[in-house]
Amino acid sequence: MFTDEELKKATDNYSENSIIGRGGFGMVFKGILPNNQVVAIKRSIKVDSTQVEQFINEVVALSQINNKNVVKLLGCCLETEVPLLVYEFISNGTLHDHLHDEGKMYSFTWDVRLRIAAEVAEVLAYLHTTISIPIIHRDIKSANILLDDKCVAKVADFGASKLAPVDQEQLGTMVQGTCGYLDPEYMQTGELTDKSDVYSFGVVLVELLTREKAISYAKPENERSLAVCFLRKIKEDRLFEIFDEQIVSDSAMEQLKEVANLARRCLKLKEIGDLNSDLSAL
């Protein structure tokens, strides 16, 4: 447990210079504790029941998880109107930054991308099939995959997550997630299953293959959705047109085809039986 005073000191009173992330939920600050440990502190902008629910979701989910590829929750502060969450600090930004930030445009080899895909797949298989009460993340996307200084993936942000008791095949919920990554079936029915995470992971795979964003409003309407565009290219046998040139080589071609096929299966939900074994094997 952390005190409000302790976290204010760690962030220089939540100064602008300590901000490392912003979103609809609020802000994430970099903090340095008295023992020189660097941490990330999530602080909500507004006080409402949704923020409190997300805090509870995150604490409940992360308290059950012990996985090297999930960001660790170190503690919280209950002295503020909306509780603050304190995490291990992951130094290298997000997968979204590495793939899409034009100001950075990291060199990103296929081997590194494939390993990141495998690490995220293992986390999903762990959440869905290994822990005693399965967890559906509900917001898998490249911006919620952090990378450390060795580009090891760390899945973050369990604020939207849901526990999925094993005797319930689906949960009725208010649709939540990020445009471009949302499972169309879940959007239509509001019935949440682990396949919703699998669909979102499929979109991340396509991002890794193409270096294109999940949704791009600058493009014509029929090309805005990366998932729809990807499936259309496969159907037209024009897949290689959208692979990122940086990763195309004779030696990687078979792996590219296999990952593209896995992405297709993730996105074509009605054809999926149980893909979690495939995710474990990736």
Residue 42 known to bind ligand: yes
> Which residues make Cβ contacts (< 8 Å) with residue 109, sequence separation at least 6?
246, 247
Residue 274's pLDDT is 58
What are 132's two structure tokens? 């005693």
Q: Which comes out higher in pLDDT, residue 188 or 119?
A: 119
Mean pLDDT value across residues 20-32: 86
> Which residues make Cβ contacts (< 8 Å) with residue 151, sequence separation at least 6?
92, 98, 112, 115, 116
Alpha-carbon distance of 140 to 245, in angstroms, equals: 25
225 & 145 share domain? yes
135-145 tens-digit pLDDT: 999 999 999 99
Alpha-carbon distance of 120 to 144, in angstroms, equals: 11
Is pLDDT above 60 for 83? yes
30 & 124 share domain? no
Beta bridge partners of 22: 27
Number of independent structural domains in the chain: 2
Going by pLDDT thresholds of 50, 70 and 90, the confidence category of residue 105 is low
Beta bridge partners of 42: 28, 85
> Between the CA atoms of 82, 86, 90 and 91, what dihedral angle is there, to the nearest 10 degrees?
80
161-203 tens-digit pLDDT: 988 865 555 565 667 889 999 999 888 888 889 999 999 999 9
Residue 55 in any domain: the answer is yes
Is pLDDT above 70 for 272? no
Residue 276 in any domain: the answer is no
Residue 245 in any domain: the answer is yes
Using the 3D structure, point to which of 66, 88, 110 is the last residue of a domain: 88
Alpha-carbon distance of 175 to 263, in angstroms, equals: 23
Is 250 a residue of the active site? no
Q: Which range scores top for mean pLDDT: 90-104, 110-124, 163-177?
A: 110-124
Residue 275 in any domain: the answer is no
Is pLDDT above 80 for 47? no
Residue 273 in any domain: the answer is no
Mean pLDDT value across residues 37-57: 84
Going by pLDDT thresholds of 50, 70 and 90, the confidence category of residue 102 is confident
Is pLDDT above 70 for 108? yes
Is pLDDT above 60 for 276? no
80 & 97 share domain? no
Residue 109's pLDDT is 92
As to burial, measured by CB atoms within 10 angstroms (0-12 exposed, 13-18 middle, 19+ buried), residue 268 is: middle
Catalytic residue among 4, 139, 237, 278: 139
Residue 214's pLDDT is 97
193-222 tens-digit pLDDT: 999 999 999 999 999 999 999 999 988 888
What percent of the chain shows pLDDT beyond 70?
90
Going by pLDDT thresholds of 50, 70 and 90, the confidence category of residue 253 is very high
* Cβ atoms of residues 148 and 92 within 8 Å: yes
For all residues of the chain together, what is the average pLDDT?
89
Output b/e per residue, 147-183; b: 16+ Cβ within 10 A: beeebbbbbbbbbbbbebeeeeebeeeeebbbebbbb
Provide the domain limits for residue 157.
93-267
* Cβ atoms of residues 196 and 138 within 8 Å: yes
Residue 124 in any domain: the answer is yes
